Amino acid sequence: MRSKEILIVVVILSMGLIGSVVAQEADPFMGDWQGVRQTDSGMTGDLSMQVIALGNNQYRMRVLESFDWPHDPVAVMDAELKGQAVRFKSVGGGTEWTGEGDGTLKDGKFEGKYKGTDDGSFSVKRVVRLSPTLGAKPPKEAIILFDGKNLDEWKKIGGVAGLVNLAALVGGDNAAAYLRTRIRSEGEQKAVLEIGSDDGVKVWLNDKVVHANNAARGVTPGQDKIPVTFNDGWNNLLVKVTNGGGDWGVCVRIADEQGKILPGIFEMAGRENQEGSREVFEKSNGFLTRWRVAGPFRMEGKDGTAVFDIEFDPEKAGTQVEWKRVSLEAESNAAPWKLADGVMEVRGGNIATRRQFQDYSLHLEFRLPFMPTARGQARANSGVYLHDQYEIQILDSYGLEGLDNECGGIYQIARPRINMCAPPLQWQTYDIEFSAARFDSEGKKVRNAILTCRHNGVTIHDKLEIPRPTGGALRSDEKEPGGIYLQDHGNPMQFRNIWIVEKPQDASR
């Protein structure tokens, strides 16, 4: 036998799932296990285990005396899948485990033996521990911020001006989409088309190709600058955008050579205005906001790069294409996140409530995507900002130490009392009591903002004072009421059942 090592042989129930790195795909070992251990002398005790999937057939197991209590683990073991067995090795922490066991995983049960100071055996079963407030119904006085029906209570924050969000409009990976519009010019004049795209972009002006860039990139306004000449009267603009995977979109701005908004340009404005509209064009600083969109178009076996040069129907004269009218003027402030099956999923930028609040109780439910190969802040990252300013971190920190930049932490201010993060793909809850900072009549702060937070039913912050806004705050002034702000950090986080109950203020502002 080798020291500081425990060998646990596990019968694999579904080899097709082990080591998968596909988001939202379950893992047969990941999660909580609970039971008992018994020494050979007959003493028994509780035993809990957390199995963390690390991707590429790698795992980590934390052996605990009990869940939800801030104590050191009995053992921490790394694991690797080899053939049809998972081998765990102790890597330090608490009691040293030695020897080997011949335990098997069957029907959610895991049994085996251990050797060390006290030899013995263990038996644990797979458990799913749900938050006691999961699915909590809002009281009559609550303001419903999200009940799965729409995103009307939310607005987007910042983002790319004039962005046509193709992920939301047409969806699809390894695809192409087309946008067309008409532009009226008062006289023939030179112009610059400033285009940003995710990914590739091809542009036709009056049926002639004026630009092609088969790029793989994210959207930034003005990535490509294309000199063109508009004819006097109406001009036809066609834009093709290709996508390899994930979010995609495009923005088009018309400017002069110095980057200033071009005079004498009018967007199409429908049958009600045959001369076109100048008003919206000026308000959007030259970004085009009126489009018709078609797609997605795909070809079997072709990725996003390959479909760039394939001629789909919108490029062919005389073909019938179904076009969807898009007006960014109406949608410019709308929350861009995906809405499906009563859940909203992070997509296309940060969002915040349209309403502002001062003191309140907040209930919110979230689900982490399964990202086993990601590490640190790249592993299912998001955040809930109170008052537009104070972030409570969301992160897949299941089985980790519980730092201020992990789930439930308040970055650079306070770590959670205990790491209550559940495994990814499991719905979790934050129940928060918040009281805004107070100021005297001269504007001097007399009390910091205060919050209490329960994560999955357990208090992780109790009447915690927050002395300042955290990183990513929308503003630094703490005096005015603020909204609830949800962060897009590039990971497909999901949220549901969000409601708030306002409270009367108990002191001067």
Which helix (H) or strand (E) element contains residue 446? Answer: strand 445-447
Other Cβ atoms closer than 10 A to 245: 13
- Secondary structure (DSSP) of 316-350: STT-----EEEEHHHHTTB---EEETTEEE--SS-
Contacts of 67 (CB under 8 A, 6+ apart): 32, 34, 48, 129
Report d(CA 67, CA 88) in Å as an integer: 20
Domains and CATH numbers, the chain: 7-127 (2.40.128.120), 143-156+335-502 (2.60.120.560), 164-331 (2.60.120)
Q: Which residues of 324-360 are buried (b: 16+ CB within 10 A; e: fewer)?
A: eebebbebbebbbbbbeeebbbbbbbbbbbeeebbbb
What pLDDT score does 271 carry? 67
Report d(CA 320, CA 216) in Å as an integer: 29
Amino acid at 194: E
Q: pLDDT by residue for the chain (509 residues), tens digit each? A: 233 333 333 333 332 222 223 333 477 788 998 999 888 888 888 889 898 989 888 888 888 888 888 777 877 877 777 665 556 655 444 444 443 444 345 566 777 777 766 788 888 888 999 999 999 999 999 999 999 999 999 988 876 668 899 988 898 889 999 999 999 999 999 999 999 999 999 999 999 999 999 998 888 888 999 999 999 999 999 999 999 887 899 999 999 998 888 999 999 876 667 788 888 788 888 999 999 999 999 999 899 899 999 999 999 988 999 999 998 865 667 888 999 999 999 987 899 999 999 999 999 999 999 998 888 888 898 999 999 999 999 999 999 888 889 999 998 899 999 999 999 999 999 999 999 999 999 999 999 999 999 999 999 999 999 999 998 888 888 988 999 999 998 889 999 999 999 998 764 44
Report d(CA 49, CA 493) in Å as an integer: 26
Measured CA angle at 218 (ends 381, 323), to 5 deg: 110
- Secondary structure (DSSP) of 251-293: EEEEE-TTSPBPTTEEE---TT-TT-BSHHHHHTTTB--EEEE
Contacts of 104 (CB under 8 A, 6+ apart): 9, 10, 11, 110, 111
Q: What does DSSP say about strands 85-90 and 343-345: parallel, antiparallel, or unpaired?
A: unpaired
Q: Which residues of 399-431 are buried (b: 16+ CB within 10 A; e: fewer)?
A: bbebbebbbbbbbebbbbbbbbbbbbbbbbbbb
Pick from 352, 374, 183, 354: nearest CA to 280: 183
Distance set, CA 426 to CA 31, 266, 376 (Å): 10, 50, 19
Distance set, CA 268 to CA 19, 272, 291 (Å): 52, 10, 9
Pick from 211, 381, 199: nearest CA to 307: 199
Report d(CA 362, CA 468) in Å as an integer: 20
What pLDDT score does 258 carry? 87
Q: What stretches of 70-225 show up as alpha helix (H) in DSSP?
A: 166-169
Pick from 6, 2, 29: nearest CA to 90: 6
Amino acid at 200: G
Pick from 153, 164, 161, 165: nearest CA to 485: 153
What pLDDT score does 121 carry? 82
Check: CB of residue 419 under 8 Å from CB of residue 428: no
Pick from 503, 502, 499: nearest CA to 365: 499
Strand partners, 38: 44, 121
Residue 460's Cα: distance from chain center in Å? Answer: 23
Distance set, CA 389 to CA 293, 371, 440, 455, 486 (Å): 37, 28, 20, 20, 11
